[in-house]
Amino acid sequence: MHITYLLATGSNAIYDGKYSQSGRYHTYGQQSFVLDLIRTMSRAGHIVRLNVDTLSSFALTSTFRGMDSVTVTEEIDPSGKTDLILVDEVPDEMLMQFDEHVPAFRTVHHAGRRSSDYLVSRCSRFLCMTENALALQRRHLPAGRAVLVHQGVDLERFPAVLAKSGGRRPRVLLYCRLDSGREALLGQIIENIDREEVLVYVAGDGPGFWDMSDRFGSEIILINHVPCQSIPNLLGEMDVVISLGRGAMEAMATGIPTLCAGHHYAGPITADNIASLMRYNLTGAVSDRDPSLVMADIREALDSDRRDVRALAEERLSADAFMEGVSDLYTQITG
């Protein structure tokens, strides 16, 4: 297929004018999703045209250079061959430039956010990545438009690292945006980690960054921002990861034992609880595990088999499965 992917930077509702790094906007989860999906589409033989409204603000342009089947550009070409349009966070005007006979699927990043009337009328499918998003989107979309297609990570970009770090102290990475109240839970978790027994890294930006620095700066390694391209290297150095959403998915793909912490603390992600946790995007949204148990969970995680973690990611968290779902939906509507 020839796929056109529409993406906005500064006008993006997810960015909301926040998280600018030297003029480049970034929301880690969204850009990680785009990077992994486009790599997966390219590897599957699709031709991808990524249209970005402000290329100078896009943090991943250089990452796609050298991929013959991927073009990254500001120039929209309505006359060019396009079989399917994937609509990310963009102003309606970007999609309006294309002929209405070209099928368009809307990617739902924010579970409860309503799309414009135009997008509702124009997009034949709304790709919901969690059961929670599916339930919320169905409330205001025509019947059959909202569909469940679980997101995943590019398992080739995150190769399994089966050996432990081998350091004097095991390395624990807390990997989370420090806003929306999540920084408060992260603070509780750090308070309950024995920072002499394990070496603690915290990677995240947002309004809670300097508070985290003031409270724990002399006892942890605090990192403000790590680009998507560098995350596999960082994860490969860790022994346990505490994260949510795509951060948790990426850690598990790397084979790192992962604890779920976001809206609430859920503890280790296992084959027994991953289905229920994925309903709310691995954020621990309806969990009630006490953060004071985190050190016991870390010790248990250190004894787990990384091959089992990677196998679980291969089974449940593959971007290839997402792309196959999109291809199946395209076949359904085009006959």
Model pLDDT, residue 303: 96
Measured CA distances, 334 to 102, 143, 183, 189 (Å): 10, 18, 46, 50
Query: If residue 134 lies in a helix (H) or strand (E), which one and from where to where?
Result: helix 131-137
For the cut 70, the answer to whether the pLDDT of residue 16 exceeds it is no
Given pLDDT bands bounded at 50, 70 and 90, which one contains residue 44? Answer: very high
Given its phi and psi angles, is residue 19 left (phi above 0), alpha (psi -120 to 50 degrees) or beta?
left
Model pLDDT, residue 154: 97
Nearest partner of 221 among 262, 171, 181, 168, judged by Cα: 171
Asked whether the beta carbons of 265 and 289 are under 8 A apart, the reply is: yes
For 23, the token pair is 């003029």
- SS3 breakdown of the chain: % helix, strand, coil, rounded to 5? 35, 20, 45
For the cut 80, the answer to whether the pLDDT of residue 59 exceeds it is yes
The percent of residues above 70 in pLDDT, for the chain, comes to: 94
For 289, the token pair is 């595990």
**What residue type is 87 in one-letter code?**
V
Q: Which fold has domain 2-152+318-334?
A: Rossmann fold (3.40.50)
Q: Is 128 helix (H, G, I), strand (E, B) or coil?
A: strand
The domain segmentation of the chain, as residue ranges, is: 2-152+318-334, 171-316
Provide the H-helix boundaries in 51-130.
61-64, 92-96, 117-122
Measured CA distances, 188 to 193, 290, 292 (Å): 9, 10, 8
Name the pTM for this structure.
Answer: 0.93
Give the model confidence (pLDDT) of 144-189 as tens digits. 999 999 999 999 999 999 999 988 999 999 998 887 778 889 999 9
Mean pLDDT score of the chain: 92
Given pLDDT bands bounded at 50, 70 and 90, which one contains residue 141? Answer: very high
Domain with residues 171-316, CATH architecture: 3-Layer(aba) Sandwich (3.40)
